[in-house]
A and B are shown apart, each in its own frame.
Chain A
Amino acid sequence: MKDLGASCPVPFGRYDRIVLGHGSGGRLTANLIRDLFMPALGGEILSRLEDQAVCPVDLPAGARLAFTTDSFVVRPIFFPGGDIGSLAIHGTVNDLAVGGARPLLMSAAFILEEGLPLEELARIAASMRAACDRSGVQLVTGDTKVVDRGKGDKVFITTSGIGVVQPGVSLSISSARAGDRLLVSGPVGDHGIAILSVREGLEFETQLVSDSAPLADLTRVMLEACPSIACMRDPTRGGLSSALNEMAAASKVGVKLQETAIPIRPSVVAACEVLGLDPLYVACEGRLVAAVGEADAERLLELVRSHPLGRDAALIGRVVEDHPGIVTLLSRAGGERVVSLLSGEQLPRIC
């Protein structure tokens, strides 16, 4: 990835770190917005610096708005394949995209911890801009607050997004039907393991990078080819397992997975073995799983594989009538097990 920080000027006056004054609403705040946020993020609407973004919209008849919000906390804030800034854009874009919406407008609110190097904040802002451009969204409004050192973890970002759902598109977590095939757009667990690889105390060496990416173009291509797709989800926290458990519960169907069909990178498998984790519970930030009709499944798979974000897509299982609400997995060894919801965060184990 290009080092975005190197190209940023550092016109931050005598401060090279966030101080409480940057959140005062006074001159320091204005300088921060003018010298750091605007050069990176400013567009026509944001640059007006109004208290609200007033945006022209052109909705076709029967179209609906999708609206979502998400907060991002991640340690470390820079990780292989991304940072908290790009993650905050992609995460909200993806929440819109898997609802069948084309993302249009975004907001971003920053909680900055006193002491955060401005150079790091500039890199985050530049990365957000690149992510917005890649996702085809416009950041139109934002906010900044500063908390005392020790009261935050460098930076927290909340993004909200608005998108448009075209008439005829109707996706819901409760719409999976028995007989559907399950399509996953790429290897699972890359993001979670990439983060762990640089987490203090657990570090290991790997070439692995986060899969963080905007899915809006992929979902657009899928829905144009097959408007009848009923259900999509991005398996973030809790991984593939949680996404499918939610789908099974909401749709009152069973899910049968085949372990050998699920794409997982060897290094993700290896890191999970070493730390005693199950890759099915490890987060992705640029993957989707969709329940698609049997008749469309193979065609959609080809289509997804022809997209840059779906090259390693696979059909990993089926939606069934049996055991509603329960996800089962046929293991590579030939035995079957239930893949249940985790009670909490997966912790590395010794035994």
Chain B
Amino acid sequence: MCLGIPGRVIEVGRERDLLMGKVDFGGVARKVCLEHVPDAVPGDYVIVHVGFALSKLDEQEARRVFALLEEMGRLEGGAGQ
């Protein structure tokens, strides 16, 4: 359910009564409604679903799983010695 794709906000502006923006998805850009992430600024990554940004991505949280994997790797390496 609910295809949500991460993209980078590259433009923010008002279009009539709506807060809109342009979001780049790895070389493909689309107009996206930013009403639900009113504090988004260019450079932020957002999750986009049916043309609406629903959530800003937290880069620090995004790195967490990789730290965990590193930790696992260290533990395994330690166990093997």
Contacts and interface: CB of A to CB of B under 8 A. Distances in A.
Partners in one complex: yes
Interface residues of A, number: 17
Nearest to A270: B26
Contacts of B1: 351
A350 B28 contact: no
B29 A206 contact: yes
Interface residues of B, number: 15
Contact of A274 (B2, B5, B22): B5
B2 A350 contact: yes
B75 to A, nearest CB: 21
B49 interface: yes
Contacts of B27: 206-208, 266-267, 270
A153 B50 CA distance: 29
A197 B27 CA distance: 12
A276 to B, nearest CB: 5
B26 A266 contact: yes
Interface in B10-67: 22, 25-30, 48-50
Contacts of B30: 204-205, 274
A340 B3 CA distance: 22
Interface string A255-274: 00000000000110111011
A206 B49 contact: no
A2 interface: no
A205 B50 CA distance: 16
A197 B29 CA distance: 10
Q: Which of B3, B22, B48, B49 has the most CB of A within 10 A?
A: B3
A321 B53 CA distance: 47
Given A266-B27, A267-B26, A273 B5 contact: yes
Given A267-B27, A270-B25, 7 more contacts: A204-B28, A204-B30, A206-B27, A206-B29, A208-B28, A271-B28, A274-B7
